[in-house]
Chain A
Amino acid sequence: MEAADMAWLLAAFAMVLLMFPGLAMLYGGMLNGRNVLNMMLMVLSALAVTGVVYVVIGHGLVLGDSLGGAGIIGNPFEYTFFSDFMTDDEAGGTFWGAFYILFAAISVALVASGAAGRMKFGAWLVFVALWIILVYCPLGHWVFALDNPETGTVGGWMRNKLGFHDFAGGTAVHMNAGAAGLALAVVLGKRKMSPGRPHNLPLMMIGVGLIATGWMGFNGGTAGGANFMAQYVILTTLLALCGGMLGFITIERVRDGHATMLGLGTGAIAGMVGITPVADAVGPIGALMVGFLAAAAAAWAITWKRRHQIDDSLDVFAVHGIAGITGSLFATFFANPKAPGEMAGIFFGGHVAELGHELIAIAATLVYSFAMTFAIAWVMNKISPIRVSEAEEEAGLDNSIHAESAYDSRQL
């Protein structure tokens, strides 16, 4: 690989790493002050456990030659222990191994939204390990593993057989995390007390800022090098960020009468989620629209969740699931063939049949993620309850299971 390409990728790596403390602050700032440390622990330990699991078995499951050529799951015995990565394969294999760990880890860290303030910490760690292997790896394989006719390697079915366009993991990362957060929230049940207000919105905003910066590395690094694609997706990601901020606060202003800072920050995230699958496939105006529509859809989806009494505490299904679906669907209709992704939306002369493929891919992702996550959590719960006791929940998990307090004083 060219040195210039690797230089950019290494920089992108550092940026994506920032998304972890960023997410910890985003999620932590939105909870009350008695559970903030627990949430930060869940996010950061998600990276810790993923690093272990992924090195042992994960990379083969995602990028290995598809077992039986079926495109369902890769060969777990490839890349085991990352021993191959001690030598330079001249193609950046070692870098990609590390980068893929971050992708997997951020996906599972997002799922912590469904567990806020009520999951046993040991159970969370076990859940992370099982989820990476059973949920993330297959979905990652479906959409990240490419067929390679020269070497005879078979990749994932969604990318290769269905021809589904997913630039940087709108399915494997965001729709996946959304459905999984929902499933975990359903198994755990609602928090006993009313959630209360976010305790530190400035902290949440710092988190949004770090995540937005990191996202430039997430999408820009996925471009694979210091090339035109990286230029283009950074531009579209920025535009989706802008559109997203406006989309959410517009809905808020019309529906509630106020634009809020929490709304702007949430919209920023939702906009970037929306562009993640299609950053290479829409025009600049399209990117603004993707951000706007994905954030607006997320804003509406959040009120739906409340009416159905599901305690997806930090709205990962709305902000990552619904926004990801919106971005993907937008491209099905409006992808601009002049963009580097060379995809033609239905309104730009593409085939209507693409809509069918799109819906199959979305449905397969959501159904598999929800069902398998539900199964993991449900079975774990049967073996040993994964929810904390009522007394622990009331006292706040920082105090009761971590013996720590984030702040010295409490706010009424």
Chain B
Amino acid sequence: MKLITAVIKPIRLESVCSELEKAGFSGVTATEVQGRGAQGGRTEYYRGQEFSVMFRNKIRLELLVSEADLERALDIIVSTAKTGENGEIGDGKVWVSALEQIIRVRTGETGEAAI
């Protein structure tokens, strides 16, 4: 069982989620986060004074998958979260961690059956 975490541009959220759903991955958690990488921050102006804003708005997606479905899910996320053909700085990152246990609240099912 694996946990996929993806930090993506907010504007790609709708496409990523609809592609995941089409492929059979219907469960996903999304949170609004702020972060930065190579993209850096931005400058804003308030009454003539410059303010450097360190972070950019991103969306963090979390997805539970079985080992068998892992590659498929990653391909979908990476290809849909990319901006345009060649991608842009700020498109984000995806990472995978191993999960010890999953439990479905309604039924008490555990392990892969709970995905």
Query: What is the interface of chain B mostly: helix, strand, loop, or mixed?
Result: strand
In the complex, are the beta carbons of B45 and A412 less than 8 A apart? no
A-side contacts of B34, CB under 8 Å: 412
Q: CB within 8 Å of A: which of B15-57?
A: 34, 44-49, 51, 53-55
Taking Cβ atoms with an 8 Å cutoff, the residues of A that contact B are 196-198, 252, 255-256, 258, 260, 262-263, 266, 299, 302-303, 306, 315, 412
Q: Which of B46, B48, B51, B55 contacts A303 (CB 8 A)?
A: B48
B-side contacts of A266, CB under 8 Å: 47
CA–CA, A299 and B48, complex, Å: 8
State how many residues of chain B have any CB contact under 8 Å with chain A. Answer: 11
CA–CA, A403 and B55, complex, Å: 29
List the 9 shortest-distance A-B pairs measured between CB atoms, nearest first.
Answer: A412-B34, A197-B51, A256-B45, A302-B47, A412-B55, A303-B48, A258-B45, A262-B46, A256-B48
In the complex, are the beta carbons of B49 and A306 less than 8 A apart? yes
A-side contacts of B54, CB under 8 Å: 412
B-side contacts of A306, CB under 8 Å: 49
Give A265's nearest chain B residue, CB to CB: B47
B-side contacts of A412, CB under 8 Å: 34, 54-55
* A198-B46 contact given A412-B34, A412-B54, CB 8 Å threshold: yes
CA–CA, A255 and B49, complex, Å: 11
Give A260's nearest chain B residue, CB to CB: B45
Q: CB within 8 Å of A: which of B47-84?
A: 47-49, 51, 53-55
CA–CA, A256 and B49, complex, Å: 9
In the complex, are the beta carbons of B47 and A262 less than 8 A apart? yes
B89 CB to closest chain A CB (Å) equals: 20
Give B33's nearest chain A residue, CB to CB: A412
A174 CB to closest chain B CB (Å) equals: 18
The 24 sampled A-B contact pairs (Cβ below 8 Å) are A196-B51, A197-B44, A197-B46, A197-B51, A197-B53, A252-B48, A255-B48, A256-B48, A258-B45, A260-B45, A260-B46, A260-B47, A262-B46, A262-B47, A263-B48, A299-B47, A299-B48, A302-B47, A302-B48, A303-B48, A306-B49, A315-B47, A412-B54, A412-B55
CA–CA, A260 and B49, complex, Å: 11
B42 CB to closest chain A CB (Å) equals: 12
CA–CA, A172 and B63, complex, Å: 64
A412 CB to closest chain B CB (Å) equals: 5
A-side contacts of B51, CB under 8 Å: 196-197
CA–CA, A299 and B45, complex, Å: 13
CA–CA, A261 and B34, complex, Å: 24
Give B55's nearest chain A residue, CB to CB: A412
Give A248's nearest chain B residue, CB to CB: B47
CA–CA, A299 and B53, complex, Å: 23
CA–CA, A252 and B50, complex, Å: 12
A341 CB to closest chain B CB (Å) equals: 32
A305 CB to closest chain B CB (Å) equals: 10
CA–CA, A199 and B48, complex, Å: 16
- Identify which of B48, B49, B53, B55 gathers the most chain A CB atoms within 10 Å of its CB: B48
- Identify which of B46, B47, B48, B55 gathers the most chain A CB atoms within 10 Å of its CB: B47
CA–CA, A315 and B45, complex, Å: 15
B-side contacts of A258, CB under 8 Å: 45
CA–CA, A373 and B114, complex, Å: 69
CA–CA, A315 and B48, complex, Å: 12
CA–CA, A198 and B53, complex, Å: 12
A-side contacts of B46, CB under 8 Å: 197-198, 260, 262
B80 CB to closest chain A CB (Å) equals: 27
CA–CA, A65 and B71, complex, Å: 89
